[in-house]
A and B are shown apart, each in its own frame.
Chain A
Amino acid sequence: MELLIKNGFIFDPINEINGEKMDIAIRNGKIVESVNDQKARVIDATGLTVMPGGVDIHSHIAGGEVNMGRLLRPEDHVKDVERKTALTRSGVGYSIPSTFTTGYRYSKMGYTTVMNPSMAPLGAKHTHEELNDIPMLDKATYPLIGDWWFVLEYLKQGDIEACARHVAWMMNTTKGYAIKIVNPGGLESWGFGRNVHSIDDQVPNFGITPREIVRGLVKVNNMLNLPHTIHLHTNNLGLPGNYTTTLDTMKALEDLSTDGKPICHITHLQFSSFAGDDWGSMHSAADEVSKYINNRSHMTFDMGQVIFTDTTTMTADGPFEFTLFELSGHKWVNSDVETETSGGIIPFHYKRKNPVNAIQWSTALELALLIKDPWKIFMTTDHPNGGPFISYPKIIAWLTSRKARMAVLKKCHKKAQKKSLLPSIKRELSLYELAIVTRAGQAKALGLTNKGHLGVGADADISVYNVNPETTDIAQKPKLVRRAFSDAAYTIKDGNIVVKDGKIVQTVSGKTMWLDIDIAKEVELDDEMKRRFKEYWTVEYDNYPVFDHYVKVSSPITVKADV
């Protein structure tokens, strides 16, 4: 099928196209030089904004943890339901939507690619089964391996190469996309109810420190030439004063970036940028953190914006969720996974009148605005931890309009208002910068070469929004921006028009991307490996892998490793 998007204002930062009027031609799901005007279906995009399809680098949409959250919270679903239609399946929201609803809602906002950032390897089949049931999107998932016993043991021995080979095995076995590390060392410690409190604390029973784990896995990542960097959730996350840990972590990795390219992605940076000694004196460390980041290029980040609403926090950081349980007294799920990781869930209501929550809200925006280079920090809520992904249009309005964010700040707790840096920040993101923080930057950081841009050969994942950059001053019209980015005029997935005027008009499956790592010396299933496997897990080696049939639409990406 051929498709022609005519006359739109194109924002394609990877190809440095900033709002020029151009036509985009599509054939067989790819962007091409030109198509036959007579035959192709034409979308008249006159007066509309055209961007590559949205890419979300970090959103918990599938897997055991997410599903436990769904099970835990019927009260979250009952207020937000989706009826079955001739085209779409029924489902529920709100903060942890059911799988079909997740796909439809992302698509309505013009998103086409979403990365699921946290998967316990033992439950990998579950994650993939859910990803199969999330339509409209291309997806991938990151296995949690920062506290996997194999990694801890090899790094303790200093055998980076063996570690790399086993990480490659794990990536192939679980059909994962990137190395995810959560509270390195802390999750293993949580197995006996403990935690680590700095990057140089020893992990009990393993004699290794978070610093060694993170440095080791950066080296592994480089050795394997993975498209994304390591994806890191720092130690001490969510605790007052933790920004020093975050700075320590970043400094500990400086020497590992040789060519100035990023080597680590710190996710939901807001949760790692608290200053102060306790909850009473807690304030934003956006100033210190952004100053450091503005002078370096070895890291990328995403925001972890907080939204004032009732949401559900869920993370592999079991000890942190326990802290939240102690703070809130809410119903608490803890789910440790043998040999690999832990996890926890707490429902959470972020309130404007709560000084800590309001400071968190402000901190995320401060970070996004104070870090000058939009290619370094991307827009996320760490869905559903900071708030559900359907709030993205709100964040877009806050980033592009000082007026919009100041209106919210005015309603926040007095203490937060006093401490906030937002009044001093004039910056307002342009549509071009917005395209970077919502798609181009994320695609680049993920190493997805066919996504996040509209050049010839790219996947025809495109979103068209009802904003006319010539006639509209987006900084002055936040409501219009919010509406436009809530209901895309068109969402095009692999060359198919799937959304028109915020309504689903066609459903598609979307692919699951995973890394097929080509390595010279693969992990052999020798007696030693079999013995360790039997000792470490309670399932058989033969039953552990995610077999091919667990991925409905499989899109392997071959990577050539150096080992």
Chain B
Amino acid sequence: MSVVKSVTCPVCGCLCDDIELTVEDGKVTHVRKGCAMCESKFLNYVSEHRVKTPLVRKDGKLVPTSYEDAIHKSAEILANAKYPILYGWSSTDCEAQRIGVELAEEVGGVLDNTAVVCHGPSIIGVQEAGIPTSTLGQIRHRADLIIYWGCDPWSAHPRHLERYTAFTDGRFEDSEWMSYINKVKASVGKKKLSSVKRRSFQCETEYEKISDNKPPVDLNKEGRKLVVVDVRESMTAKVADYFVQVKPGKDYEIMAAIRSIVNEEELDVDEVGGVPVEYLEEIVDTMVNAKFGVIFFGMGLTQSAGKFRNIELAISLTRDLNRRTKFVILPMRGHFNVTGANTVFTWQSGYPYAIDFSLGYPKYNPGETTCVDVLLREQSDAALVIASDPVSNFPRKAAEHLVKNPLIVIDPHMNVTSMVGDVVFPSAVVGVEKAGTAYRMDHVPLPLKKVVEPPEGLLSDEEILRRIVEDVRVIKSQKKEAN
């Protein structure tokens, strides 16, 4: 038995790096400090469903084969394709992503990562307006106003609050955890009651107006304040000092109103997006009086009506607030290394995602070179999907075109995409069975550890990709000679 300390958790964009694992007989048996998602990843990475050899499709069925064969088949598919797609990347390490760019360039394909259906609009927003941001530690040390807008860290980034924001002690600001504990207790009681109510009366709980949006009297208190803006009362909203409930699709309007008030403009209406203007004015007071404020935003902003315009506006609001006080804004990135994919792609090609290499140089035009759009136009003729499951979450028509053409899948586990793939590679689990590097949501690079050995004979993403690139080069040079 051994205990491995300071392990980086390869689940979400928080990239908590203080996990302690107990390893017995080459298996992780106990997880300390991690959240539920972290525990489940470290304890269940070896499941009975895990494939141990590559598979290829023969007569409509996936049958086991050797790595050599699968790599050669993949290389042939990619080398013969005119316009392949290379998609996924957000749940693998930077080392694999680096080779990914090389491969995309070699085969003249479209390189895209999961940001395209996630925080892609945030990136476009940044390219429009810039971004005043900081690392998470700055927020821990300094932030006295924390706003979560369209995101629910309590469920999606469970340790975000305790490691980086409201529940942590910094140099200049203290943790507010005591008051939150009380709120959590109260909210648990409330939840039980409503659950009983729901079950006994079978009432619908779709869009329920919970908050009257009246700011609490102590919104301008000393110390940290937590504000949540969302369409529904999420778990994070329950522990917040102030929950602003927005009518669905009205985020842009509310934010624009707030920005106007920050810039000392008069509003001619009484209410915006379900929030009375006088309350908005109180929110602005709180923002301007904060010593250091932060807005975290999630998919509630990036993927709702307005998309990148929402983000551009949120950034503009933050910029304007910087004329009055200190304010930063950060996207709540999902996959543990989605930031890394954007980072690696950018340093090698100049662009963060949606990169088209078909002309021999990197070209970027979201809407045209984004992988979903290429699929919807039915232009691609092959695809390599790595560390992702687009068939289960892309628009149906896009997924259909993806499946119609030769499809290579690299993933530690079987998922919907691999089930319909033509060549399927199992790979070592990055951050558990393979060491590497990942970037936290605030662009801080962290090392991923190899804690246990992968099942015998299993290769890593990095190794598989490297061998595919080598094979593609051989095939291309043979073709050249033949001509």
Q: Is B455 part of the contact surface with A, judged by Cβ < 8 Å?
A: no
Q: Is B291 part of the contact surface with A, judged by Cβ < 8 Å?
A: yes
Name the interface size band of chain A.
Answer: 35 or more
Given contacts A70-B346, A81-B361, A538-B444, 11 further A-B contacts (CB under 8 A): A62-B347, A67-B347, A71-B127, A71-B346, A72-B127, A122-B137, A125-B437, A325-B319, A331-B127, A335-B133, A538-B135
Name the CB-closest residue of A to B359.
A83
Least CB distance, B291 to chain A, in whole angstroms: 6
Q: Is A539 part of the contact surface with B, judged by Cβ < 8 Å?
A: yes
Decide if A130 touches B347 in the complex (CB within 8 Å): yes
Please tell me which stretch of A9-17, A272-280, A337-345, A393-401 contacts chain B, meaning at least 4 of its Cβ atoms lie within 8 angstroms of it.
A337-345
Name the interface size band of chain B.
Answer: 35 or more
Decide if A83 touches B130 in the complex (CB within 8 Å): no
Hey, which chain B residues are within 8 Å of A68, CB to CB? Answer: 443
Please tell me which stretch of A89-97, A215-223, A444-452 contacts chain B, meaning at least 4 of its Cβ atoms lie within 8 angstroms of it.
A89-97
Name the CB-closest residue of B to A545.
B447
Q: Is A84 part of the contact surface with B, judged by Cβ < 8 Å?
A: yes
Decide if B445 touches A126 in the complex (CB within 8 Å): yes
Shortest beta-carbon contacts, A-B, top 9: A338-B137, A331-B130, A193-B326, A92-B350, A336-B134, A542-B6, A334-B132, A81-B361, A125-B445
Q: List the interface of chain A (C-beta within 8 A of B).
A: 62, 64, 67-68, 70-74, 77-78, 81-84, 89-92, 96-100, 122-123, 125-126, 129-130, 133, 191-193, 205, 322, 325-326, 330-339, 342, 345-346, 535-543, 547, 550
Hey, which chain B residues are within 8 Å of A129, CB to CB? Answer: 94, 347, 437, 445
Hey, which chain B residues are within 8 Å of A335, CB to CB? Answer: 133-135, 443
Decide if A133 touches B18 in the complex (CB within 8 Å): no
Instruction: State the CA gap A185–B353 with chains docked (Å).
Output: 37
Q: List the interface of chain B (C-beta within 8 A of A).
A: 5-6, 8, 17-18, 94, 98, 102, 105, 123, 126-138, 140-142, 163-164, 169, 171-172, 291-292, 319, 322-323, 325-326, 328, 342-343, 346-352, 357, 359-364, 437, 439, 443-447
Given A81-B361, A540-B18; A126-B439 close (CB under 8 Å): yes
Hey, which chain A residues are within 8 Å of B352, CB to CB? Answer: 71
Hey, which chain B residues are within 8 Å of A345, CB to CB? Answer: 130
Decide if B130 touches A332 in the complex (CB within 8 Å): yes
Decide if A72 touches B126 in the complex (CB within 8 Å): yes
Least CB distance, B120 to chain A, in whole angstroms: 12
Name the CB-closest residue of A to B343.
A67
Decide if B138 touches A338 in the complex (CB within 8 Å): yes
Instruction: State the CA gap A193–B144 with chains docked (Å).
Output: 14
Decide if A191 touches B362 in the complex (CB within 8 Å): no
Name the CB-closest residue of A to B292.
A192
Decide if A338 touches B126 in the complex (CB within 8 Å): no
Least CB distance, B33 to chain A, in whole angstroms: 11
Cβ-defined partner of B443 (8 Å) among A70, A77, A123, A191:
A123
Instruction: State the CA gap A73–B447 with chains docked (Å).
Output: 28
Cβ-defined partner of A81 (8 Å) among B138, B142, B347, B362:
B362
Decide if B342 touches A71 in the complex (CB within 8 Å): yes
Cβ-defined partner of A98 (8 Å) among B6, B343, B350:
B350
Hey, which chain A residues are within 8 Å of B445, CB to CB? Answer: 123, 125-126, 129
Name the CB-closest residue of B to A534.
B18
Decide if B361 touches A540 in the complex (CB within 8 Å): no
Given A126-B343, A543-B8; A332-B319 close (CB under 8 Å): yes
Name the CB-closest residue of A to B448.
A543
Least CB distance, B169 to chain A, in whole angstroms: 8
Decide if B348 touches A91 in the complex (CB within 8 Å): yes
